[in-house]
Amino acid sequence: MDRVLQIRGLLDACPPTRLIRQILPCLDKPRTIYFPDATPEMLATLAHQRDRMTDRIGCLTRNRDAIAEYLDAVLAYNRGDAGGTGRVVGSGAGRPTG
């Protein structure tokens, strides 16, 4: 089961399939990847993939935070916590409600 999760994790990370083919034989135990003969190209590709994942994580985090802020503002407004402005707080829209 751990191997299946590890393979799915690799596929979700979107590295090139040729890199996944290189990585699979190097899986010696769950959650560990060991490269006995990593080439400079493989290391550069892994570094690039890591950087892409970091960028994706940053984007997802910003989107999650924006959605959470919007949701909190709408819920607060619906509870009457918006200070009676007639606007949806935090949305940036500034639209009157009535």
Q: Where are the alpha helices (DSSP H) in the chain?
A: 2-12, 17-23, 40-79
Would you state the pLDDT for residue 82?
Answer: 58
Average pLDDT across the chain, whole number: 76
What size, in residues, is the chain?
Answer: 98
Q: Which two tokens stand for residue 92?
A: 């940036």
Would you state the pLDDT for residue 83?
Answer: 56
Name the residue ranges covered by the structural domains of the chain.
2-79
Please compute the mean of the pLDDT values over residues 53-81 and round it to a whole number.
Answer: 93
Would you state the pLDDT for residue 29?
Answer: 65
Report the 10 Å Cβ neighbour count for 6: 18
Query: pTM, whole model, 2 decimals?
Result: 0.55
Please compute the mean of the pLDDT values over residues 49-68 and round it to a whole number.
Answer: 93
